[in-house]
Amino acid sequence: MTSLPLVIAQIARHRVSPMKRLITIVVAAGLVAIPLQVASHARGSSKPMVVAKDAPDDWGSNVDPAISPLGGVLGQELVEASIGMIDAKTVGFVIKVASLPPSGGMPEITRYLWDMHVDTKGVVLDGKFTNYSRGTCDPQTGGQCPPPRDPGLQPFFVRTDCRLEAAGTLCVEKGIVQAKFDVASGTITIPVPLKLLGARPGSKIEPATVFFGGIMALPSAFASNGALPLDQMYPTKTFVVPR
Q: Band of the pLDDT at 47, cuts 50, 70, 90?
A: confident
pLDDT per position as a tens digit, 143-181:
566 677 788 999 999 988 877 777 666 788 899 999 999
Q: Quick one: pLDDT at residue 51?
A: 97
Mean pLDDT in the chain? 80
pLDDT per position as a tens digit, 78-103:
999 999 999 999 999 999 999 999 99
Q: Quick one: pLDDT at residue 221?
A: 67
Whose CA is closest to 33, among 126, 129, 156? Answer: 129
Q: Quick one: pLDDT at residue 165?
A: 73
Whose CA is closest to 211, among 137, 145, 123? Answer: 123
Question: What is the side-by-side order of every strand in the sheet holding 49-53?
Answer: 49-53, 78-87, 90-97, 187-193, 180-182
Q: Band of the pLDDT at 212, cuts 50, 70, 90?
A: confident
pLDDT per position as a tens digit, 121-147:
989 999 999 998 877 776 666 556 667
